[in-house]
Amino acid sequence: MNKSVLFSFLTFSFLFSFGQEKLQYKIGDFVQGGVIFWLDQTGQHGLVCATSNQGSNIPWDTEIDFKGDAQFPPDRDTKSVAIYDGVYAGKKNTEAILKFVNKRDKLFAALICDDFVMTQDSFVYDDWYLPSREELNMLYLNREIINEVANKNGGESFDRKSYWSSTDVDCSEKPYCYIDKVHLAWGHNFSLGGKTKQSPSKKYMPYLVRAIRSF
């Protein structure tokens, strides 16, 4: 190998290694359209959340309009459509909810996330979704650093109120098979605590929405 070829090879190797190193992210980085709140073992892939809420007073679906009092949903004995939980599960849930509702004339949590578009450093990010229970809990656990980074970049802090997850209550499980006909989904009140404080909520409840995406 002549010297010029060797030099070119070493230069390429250095630049490639440098580029690979730059792909190592950390929690709290403001990249990929939002704030990183979870990373896999490689440090190159994970989840980001939007820097602001996508909506407030938003229902989980459109079957009933909230009127301020306890309401009795119409009988609907269908299977739960979005029961997945865990990392990346929110994307599958969101797709299932959109397919089930099958209309876009009224705002609901999954639709707001699906419609959200963020442009950062000339890159357009349009693949957002409503987080699963676990993903929403990770937002809660990392809320302090998310709030700090979001506020520094024109966003806002999480409210100490309830946010929607995309995870449906599984009406095939006890006790929900006795008391629910697919009218409950999991909400998370950020003033109460972590995942154990998440609660089944009527889908017409007016909760907050914060979108996430994977990279």
Q: Which residues contact 174 (CB under 8 A, 6 or more apart)?
A: none
Query: Shortest CA distance to 182 belongs to which of 202, 197, 164, 163?
Result: 202
Residue 114 is predicted with a pLDDT of: 98
Asked if residue 163 lies in contact with residue 133, where contact means CB atoms within 8 angstroms, the answer is: no
Residue 175 is predicted with a pLDDT of: 66
The residue-averaged pLDDT of 8-18 equals 43
- 162-179 tens-digit pLDDT: 999 999 998 776 666 556
pLDDT beyond 50 at 9 = no
Asked if residue 94 lies in contact with residue 114, where contact means CB atoms within 8 angstroms, the answer is: yes
Token couple for 6: 């060797």
C-alpha distances (whole Å) from 131 to each of 5, 98, 104, 109, 113 are 50, 14, 19, 10, 9
pTM (two decimals): 0.83
| β-sheet with 184-189: strand ranges across | 55-58, 207-209, 162-168, 184-189, 199-202
Residue 63 is predicted with a pLDDT of: 76
- 114-159 tens-digit pLDDT: 999 999 999 999 999 999 999 999 999 999 999 999 999 999 999 9
Query: Shortest CA distance to 56 belongs to which of 164, 188, 183?
Result: 164
pLDDT beyond 50 at 12 = no
Residue 22 is predicted with a pLDDT of: 59
